[in-house]
Amino acid sequence: MYNEMLKIESITLYGYGLMIALGVISAILVAYFRAKKHDLNQDMVLTLAIFALIFGFAGAKLLYVIVEFKSFINNPMLILSGSGFVVYGGIISGVLAVIIYCRIKKVNFFEYFDLLVPSVSIAQAFGRIGCFLAGCCYGCETDSFIGITFTNSSIAPNLVKLVPTQLISSASNFAIAIILILLARRNTKPGRVGLLFLILYSVFRFIIEFFRNDFRGTIWFMSTSQFISIIIFIVAIILFVMSTRASKEKENKSE
């Protein structure tokens, strides 16, 4: 809503960038301190976090360029803008980067995946607050009491009440992070926490897309993110069921 947080001569502190930075720092700190409790290598966690961040940002920007390809062709410098990311691109590319690195180092991917996903959700939560300050990812018009009104946004429509999709997304991501951390304390099988993150996030993302009003690409009658959500949800559910069955069979054999 107010992206320019502080301006000193030619230096400007933007809310979007500030929230992204806070999200990254918070995510890394949470993962680092949780690693010790789960008997995982903290140095490995930091390395994986850096890889996930680098490839995550690159993937989020790449998918944004694909979705906004016509705009990119007209203005190639769009890729250098501080905003303009598609979260799913970051999740997919970040996870792939972690998988490859874990295979190279011969460590259990699922253990570190379970540890990192709550931090991913925390980073996204801060990022959505940044979206709110910048005015991007805005919602559709509403008469509801929860509606918010932008007055000086260069992105969102001004002087009309909009569904605060950014803040709803932020609160949901914080809630998902808390659920995952609590689940991890129960010492579940490797991979369960990570798969639950994909299930919860895909369901929420599919729903919140109905309330967004910014252009973000379409596939058939769905937004790009809704289409990806369906695929990720189906794959995650199948893997979760397979994991559950495998665990039960293993327990039966050991009895």
The pairs formed by 30-38 with CB atoms below 8 angstroms and a separation of 24 or more are 30/118, 30/119, 30/122, 31/115, 31/116, 31/118, 31/119, 34/115, 34/118, 34/181, 34/184, 35/115, 38/111, 38/115, 38/184
Mean per-residue pLDDT over the chain, rounded = 86
* Ramachandran quadrant class, 149 (left: phi over 0; alpha: psi -120 to 50; beta: rest): beta
Tally of CB atoms within 10 A around 234 = 12
Q: What is the dihedral of CA 216, 218, 219, 225, to 10 degrees?
A: 30
pTM for the structure as a whole = 0.87
Q: Is pLDDT above 80 for 249?
A: no
Amino acid at 181: I
Q: What is the mean pLDDT of residues 207-233?
A: 90
Q: Where does residue 241 rank: exposed (0-12), middle (13-18), buried (19+ CB within 10 A)?
A: exposed
The pLDDT value given to residue 83: 56
Q: pLDDT over 90 for what percent of the chain?
A: 56
Distance CA 245, CA 241 (A): 6
Output the DSSP codes for 213-254: -S---EETTEEHHHHHHHHHHHHHHHHHHHHHHHHHHHHHHH
Report which secondary-structure segment, H or E, holds 8: strand 4-8
Torsion of CA 52, 244, 30, 232, to 10 degrees: 40
- Determine how many CB atoms are found less than 10 A away from the CB of residue 189: 13
Question: Rounded to whole angstroms, how far apart are CA atoms 5 and 12?
Answer: 8
**pLDDT higher at 200 or 240:** 200
What tens digit of pLDDT does each residue of 156-207 get?
Answer: 999 999 999 999 999 999 999 999 999 998 867 888 999 999 999 999 999 9
What is the Cα–Cα distance from 39 to 133, expressed in whole angstroms?
Answer: 38
> Which tokens hold the place of 161?
């009440």
* 2-60 pLDDT tens trace: 656 656 666 666 788 889 999 999 999 999 999 998 999 999 999 999 989 899 888 88
